[in-house]
Chains A and B, each alone.
Chain A
Amino acid sequence: MRLTDQEKAMRDGAEGAAVVAAMDLLIRYGEALGSERLCDVRNVATSMTQPSPTKARLVREGGWDKAFAVISLDSDEDIQVPPMRVATCQLQHGFGADAEGVVPYPAQMIELQGDAEAFYGRHGVNILATCTPYQVGNIPVRGEHIAWMESSAVIYANSVLGARTNCEGTASTGAAALTGKVPCWGNHLDEGRFGTHLIDVAVRVDSFIEWGMLGYFTGSLAGEDRPVVTGDLAQPDLAELKHFGAAAATSGGVELYHIPGITPEAPTVAAAFGPVPVPQAALYGPRERRAVYEDLSSQGTSTDVDFVLLGCPHASVDQIRRTATALDGRRLSPGTQLWLMVPRALKDVADRSGYTAAIERAGGKVLADSCPAMSRAAPAGTRVFATDSAKQAHYLPAILGIEAWFGTLEECVDAAVTGRWRGELP
């Protein structure tokens, strides 16, 4: 890998031991990728505060400096964490103090995370604590090189915003935060952004659930490649593309897609493929749509729902409002809980707008910072859950060993109120 004089100086110690460790990781990583150089970034989205037993042990052994060295820089050196060099935000993490008494979640993890927030806040990490930084003020500009992790945020930044990021990890974002550098590879390069697969949508896609199912199909088809999606698509909004991208990044590893006429780098199908010949289209028709639905809903045998999970990725204000509206004047079944996951900054908006109170009057909970998958926590005794999120329907059965139903927000609220799943393919 070719380094600039500035990068060589950073590698050789001009900016201290932590930057040396960060450069060492970036060079090992860049050479593993086959990257020719690094590129400059001024926007990092990372995971530093999420508690874990391994992190707790490292903190006991050597404090937060040790935990950062091992986990965020993959370094065995004793270093002191300097201030973040570029704008750096914390993504979603564990539950916080507001979840105590609601979520069965260890108090010592809440305490560890509180310590982490204080430490990293002092070092210049913005504690956004959401998987959707683009909902709370961190909106990179088209063409901007950034270093983000969180697959659902990466696909949104690349595809909807036209920013440039690979799906980074904990160590590469830790190193990027201290250096403002990341390997210039893959999605950072013009030639790494053209489409590879064409999907022709022959059924009307015009709602949150339809965009989620199309996303799940798209990821299954495209794997880690770059799908171009065209056909009978209604104008999507933020929440629908948030769901679409999260689903495509879950069933496959899609980091970048184009929807000609909608997303910024693809005014036309031809532009989406650039110099590459447009391939033959794969069909998303009624049969494919039904197969996706059955795949996501085949993880349950019991229709007795004891848990409803909404807000994955973290809900928009409009999704919070729609949840409040659907629950208005109703009461949850005594054996069923409903949690709605939101960014804390938007919970403030929901509180002021009366949405939180409406959801709580019905017996539901509005929870910030985390989700059942991140924190491996659901209401005690949960056996069957329902969700409007393709991503949670995919992951939670593996993570928590519970059954899953997938449907619309209204079907999920109905299940929360009746305790029974009655959803069907719309």
Chain B
Amino acid sequence: MITLRGRTVVPGVAAGEALVSHEPISGWGGIDPATGIIIEPRHELAGQCFTGKILVFPGAKGSSGWSGFFQSTRLLGTAPLGMIFVRMSTKAALGAVVTRVPTVTGLDRDPCEVISTGDWVRIDAGAGLVEVTPAATR
């Protein structure tokens, strides 16, 4: 198990399978809140669903609709379980706040490199802790 340390964005505890993006994610024009699927055609995760997963990504990009689209995933029941991101921005911070899922940033290692899709991840966001169990050892 690998432990990463960072800081709280939204407090809370969540555990689940990781979905890792190495590219920033768009909200408006990038995800479909009705299904929780990434729809940007040339995105590495195009067609993949983040509902019920721990979404790990470098940062938010694109329209200021980012937070509103992620808030909609909460209202429509398609939200991720938790979020881990690298680059702090108003889109990512407000998006995490209104999605109301445990979220951390500022980790001591790059989560997009350390964590792979399918790994089991537990976030204790209030303590700024992330525990990763690689898929191979699960």
A residues apposed to B, CB below 8 Å: 25, 28-29, 32-34, 47, 52, 54, 70-71, 74, 149-151, 154, 166-172, 183, 185-186, 223-224, 249-250, 252-253, 373, 395, 397-399
| B1-30 interface bits toward A, Cβ cutoff 8 Å, 1 = contact, 0 = none | 000000101100000000000001000011
Residues A167 and B88 in contact in the complex (CB < 8 Å), given A253-B60, A398-B39: no
Cβ A172 vs Cβ B90 within 8 A: yes
A252: which B residues are within 8 A, CB to CB? Answer: 61
Extra contacts, 6 of them, besides A151-B64, A169-B90, A398-B40 (Cβ < 8 A), are A32-B94, A33-B93, A54-B75, A171-B71, A183-B90, A253-B59
Report the minimal beta-carbon distance from B39 to chain A, rounded to whole angstroms. 6
* A253 and B91 contact, CB distance less than 8 A: yes
* Of the residues B7, B62, B93, B97, contact of A151 by C-beta under 8 Å: B62
A-B contact pairs, 12 of them (CB 8 A): A25-B97, A29-B97, A32-B94, A33-B90, A52-B72, A150-B63, A150-B64, A151-B64, A167-B64, A170-B71, A183-B90, A224-B89
User: Whole-angstrom distance between the alpha carbons of A32 and B106 in the complex?
Assistant: 11
Q: Which residues in A have their C-beta under 8 angstroms from that of B93?
A: 29, 32-33
| Chain B interface, DSSP helix/strand/loop, else mixed | mixed
Cα distance, A150 to B65, chains bound together (Å): 7
Task: Note all chain B residues with C-beta closer than 8 A to A29.
Answer: 93-94, 97
Per a CB cutoff under 8 Å, which of A150, A166, A224 touches B87? A224
What is the minimal beta-carbon distance from A264 to any residue of chain B, in angstroms? 22
Residues of chain B within 8 A (CB-CB) of A167 are 64, 89-91
Interface flags, B121-133, vs A, CB<8A=1, else 0: 0000000000000
A282 vs chain B, min Cβ distance (A): 19
Bound-state CA distance A150–B62 (Å) is: 10
Question: In the complex, which residues of chain B have a beta carbon less than 8 angstroms from the beta carbon of A223?
Answer: 24, 59, 61, 87
Residues on B with beta carbons closer than 8 Å to the beta carbon of A71: 68, 71
Complex: A34 Cα to B91 Cα, angstroms: 14
Interfacial chain A residues near B103, Cβ < 8 Å: 32
Report the Cα distance A398→B42, complex, angstroms: 9
Q: Which residues from B are CB-within-8-Å of A395?
A: 29
Q: A169 contacts B29, CB within 8 Å?
A: no
Select A168's contact among B9, B61, B90, B96, beta carbons within 8 Å: B90
List chain B residues, Cβ under 8 A from A171: 67-68, 71, 94, 97-98
B90 touches A398 (CB 8 A): no
B82 within 8 Å of A (CB atoms): no
Contact A398 B41 (CB under 8 A): yes
A249 to B98, CA, bound (A): 22
- A150 to chain B: which residues have CB within 8 Å? 63-64
B30-67 CB mask vs A (1 if < 8 Å, else 0) is 10000000011100000000000000000111111111
* Cβ of A183 to closest chain B Cβ, rounded Å: 8
In whole Å, how far is A128's beta carbon from the nearest beta carbon of chain B? Answer: 16
Q: Given the complex of chains A and B, what is the CA–CA distance between A33 and B9 in angstroms?
A: 7
Check A398 against B30 for contact (C-beta < 8 Å).
yes
Q: Verify A253–B68 contact, CB threshold 8 A.
A: no
Q: In the assembly, what is the distance between CA of A33 and CA of B87, in Å?
A: 11
Closest 3 CB pairs of A and B: A169-B67, A149-B64, A32-B93
